[in-house]
Structure 1
Amino acid sequence: MQEVDYTRRTLIAPNHTCTHMLNFALREVLGDHVDQKGSIVLPEKLRFDFSHGKPVQPEDLRKIEYIVNQQIKDELEVSAQEIKLADAKRINGLRAVFGEIYPDPVRVVSIGRKVEDLLANPESKEWLSISTELCGGTHISNTRDAAAFALISEEGIAKGVRRITAVTAECASQSMKLASSIDTDINEASKLEGATLEKKIGSIKNTLDAAAIPAARKADLKGNISKLEDQLRKAKKKMGEENIQKAVKIAIDAAEAALSEGKTFCVTHADVGLDTTAVREAVVKAMNRFKGLPIMVFSTDEASNKAVIYAGVPPDAPNGFKVLDWLTPSIAPLKGKGGGGKNG
């Protein structure tokens, strides 16, 4: 006894029919040079290999995906019939796998027109606008049964051969929903600032990299994330400039006060977080203005429980200071909250 797993076949059928529609769409978008180089249809996805000499650009992937979904939306009848091989070869636009040996009679699968219509006028140019292939596999009876199509990835697997992986039905719907969800996250992230935005961008990028969503949509979302990263870089640059101005003013004001009070050194706090550049500039600018005055500037960050410290001692400072010389910037845990760090 031979048994057929109809449950599995029901899941495979829409994927198989979509390989035919995909084959047609590839030729429509990329050109007639496209030939099928192999395919696999599984319950959860389909894979289609084809001849093409370079990566398919996102915009073309979008067009290909649209053509397949439009055929699904149009609810086209899928017609299959066994006919003589010689008669099948006369049908204009008929597709077959190069190098494949077909039986006689052979099974023809046509999407959008009945096979008998094709046989009635096999040389009609009208058949160039539909998918017609030699195929003995299982198919759906109408394209609407595929429900939806999502082109997940496109990659090269050999010289001149590319591979597309796609999903249909519920898997395709879930893929599109996930893409919309990530898009919403990106839009929400655009309202954030600073460290919160930076953390959110990292989280979205990790999700997007692992997401099985339409390839063209993924390219769009990556572009939107790049815009967010540009936004973050500009904000950081602006904040850095503002921090430098703030820290320099604080250091100069503190040095002036120290000298007016007759002090031989200056130690002050600049509230610029862990911005080492701003703290260093504050020390350098203040020392350039007030020659011979040892200066230390520090800044704290309560969120990370750390402090950044920068100090400088001029060569002509009192002997008690010469041992310090120049100190490099140091970031260490705040005193009493985790112990010491580099340079204490």
Structure 2
Amino acid sequence: RQMTIDHAGFEECMAVQRKTAQQAGKFGADYNEQLKSEKHTEFKGYDSTHHSATVVEVFANGESVSILEDGQQGIVVLNHTPFYAESGGQTGDTGTITVAGGEFTVTNTTKLGNAFAHHGSVQGRIAVNDKVDATIDDARRERIKKNHTATHILHEALRQLLGEHVSQKGSLVEPERLRFDFSHFEAVTKDELREIERVVNDEIRRNFALNTELMAIDDAKAKGAMALFGEKYDDEVRVVTIGDYSIELCGGTHVERAGDIGLFKIVSESGIAAGVRRIEAVTGADAVAYVSEQEKQLNDVAALVKGDSASVLEKVTALLEKSKGLEKQIAQLNDKLASAAGASLLDSIVEINGVKLLVANVEGTESKALRGMVDDLKNKIGSGVIALGVASGEKVSLIAGVTKDLTGKIKAGELVNHMAGQVGGKGGGRPDMAQAGGSQPENLNAALESVTAWVSEKV
């Protein structure tokens, strides 16, 4: 097809990308190496959203310090905390840490070894050994809990409906949505997605209580608990069971009963890697808001076609059928116009050493009509060479046609590329028919005028 690959350019770009990735990796490693903590934070957030604690460590600008002053950003480590630290796909908690000398606003919580790092900024001051009250954003946590519990139910539904080969490959649990990546060898169909959604909502309505218990890792596996992707487990693990439906190893936070989720709604399904699919969904009030917005859009479409939600499908289908019919009529009319325009071009034929040559700028002709026009002209002239071009906006369309008796001397692909090179493009095709495009319409006439000399050299 006369196409080439710029191998050298590709390798150069790849080298830059590798270097960038390596530098990014080194930065992350250096930062993690810099922030180390020997402290241990005891998590109290399974049963509490508020807890009293003591500041045991403070970081600012990647270094351990004794105090954070007013307006300063940093990290605070507590001996006890209700804040969940980001892990297992669940995002870290936010909230406030109140101290006698001020208030520390927590914007994220992550793990730092066995310590929980509360990221944020302080108003007033906060220092090591301060007694504090730590309070999470409970409303945000509740939304996260709904989404996290929904991922457990979704995981089991996928295994039941798609097959035992399904396993979790990653997840993200945020207040606004959940994202679940899983192994599967093909796209999930719309019918399958509807069934998955139905099964998850059925389990939500069954309203099983969630049971959590600590046990030895071997006992948990023997009980049938599934381990989550990316998690590292101690000898003693936390097992989360949802009725008779789901049992998984999980250190995250969850609702008390499945019914607390309210509603589960799939937003999208896509492929993110070979053999890995991704489902994004919303729950609770976010799911209700999503459904409400979908309903609004449906009603807006219905209003445009002068119908209602019950008749919108029928009316849109009828409009599409009518549109297809009109498009077909337009195409037929364009072909007739192109044929008529082609016939008028016959007066422009010149002869070069006995070879008929027709070169023209066919203004106003649609690019997709050029092929039919050339076929028609070839039939009319019997033997010869045809070169046509048309500009539309910033684009140029070119076509070259050569009757079969002349393809030994003149190749349509060579001719069209000769023209295309002058309008900032390239193309190709068969020896008797070839097309090209370009992006320099101001050079079209010059390109067409050069055809006569080019053909003269060939014949």
Q: TM-score, normalised by structure 1?
A: 0.52
Larger deviation: 4-13 or 101-110? 4-13
CA contact (8 A) 2:270 2:279 kept: yes
**Distance (whole Å) between structure 1 residues aligned to residue 135 and residue 164 of structure 2:** 37
CA contact (8 A) 1:85 1:106 kept: yes
Describe the SS at the equivalent of 1:133: strand
Matched, 1:232 2:310: no
CA contact (8 A) 2:212 2:239 kept: yes
**Distance (whole Å) between structure 2 residues aligned to residue 169 and residue 59 of structure 1:** 23
In the other structure, the counterpart of 2:217 is 85
> What is the 5 A alignment of 1:40-55?
40-55=172-187
CA contact (8 A) 2:170 2:229 kept: no
**Distance (whole Å) between structure 1 residues aligned to residue 248 and residue 170 of structure 2:** 14
Q: TM-score, normalised by structure 2?
A: 0.40
In the other structure, the counterpart of 2:375 is none
**Distance (whole Å) between structure 1 residues aligned to residue 174 and residue 150 of structure 2:** 12
> What is the 5 A alignment of 1:311-322?
none
Indicate the structure with greater helix content.
1
In the other structure, the counterpart of 1:254 is none
Taking a change above 3 Å as real, the CA distance of residues 175 and 99 of structure 1, as seen in their structure-2 partners, is closer
Question: Greater relative contact order (Cα 8 A, min sep 6): structure 1 or 2?
Answer: 1
Describe the SS at the equivalent of 1:37: strand
In the other structure, the counterpart of 2:208 is 76
Matched, 1:140 2:263: no
CA distances 1:136-170 after superposition (whole Å, capped 9, x unpaired): 10000011111101110111111111111110011
Describe the SS at the equivalent of 2:212: strand
Q: Which runs of 5+ in 2 are unaligned?
A: 1-52, 54-80, 82-133, 342-459
**Distance (whole Å) between structure 2 residues aligned to residue 46 and residue 154 of structure 1:** 12
- How many residues are aligned here? 204
Describe the SS at the equivalent of 1:137: coil
Taking a change above 3 Å as real, the CA distance of residues 223 and 32 of structure 1, as seen in their structure-2 partners, is farther
Instruction: Name the amino acid aligned to 1:76.
Output: F
CA contact (8 A) 1:82 1:108 kept: yes
Q: CA shift at 1:187, angstroms? A: 3.7
CA distances 1:37-78 after superposition (whole Å, capped 9, x unpaired): 111111111111111121111111111111111111121211
CA distances 1:212-250 after superposition (whole Å, capped 9, x unpaired): xxxxxxxxx999856642243346778x8xxx9xxxxxx
In the other structure, the counterpart of 1:17 is 149
**Distance (whole Å) between structure 1 residues aligned to residue 313 and residue 280 of structure 2:** 19
In the other structure, the counterpart of 1:109 is 240
**Distance (whole Å) between structure 2 residues aligned to residue 230 and residue 183 of structure 1:** 20
User: Among 262, 265, 277, which residue is 1:162 paired with?
Assistant: 277
Q: Which runs of 5+ in 1 are unaligned?
A: 114-129, 193-220, 245-275, 285-344
> What is the 5 A alignment of 1:235-254?
none
Taking a change above 3 Å as real, the CA distance of residues 65 and 223 of structure 1, as seen in their structure-2 partners, is farther
In the other structure, the counterpart of 1:27 is 159
**Distance (whole Å) between structure 2 residues aligned to residue 23 and residue 229 of structure 1:** 39
> What is the 5 A alignment of 1:235-274?
none
In the other structure, the counterpart of 2:9 is none
Q: Supply the RMSD in Å over aligned alpha carbons.
A: 3.3
Instruction: Name the amino acid aligned to 2:240.
Output: V
Instruction: Name the amino acid aligned to 1:30.
Output: L
**Distance (whole Å) between structure 1 residues aligned to residue 314 and residue 213 of structure 2:** 47
**Distance (whole Å) between structure 1 residues aligned to residue 269 and residue 204 of structure 2:** 21
**Distance (whole Å) between structure 2 residues aligned to residue 53 and residue 144 of structure 1:** 32
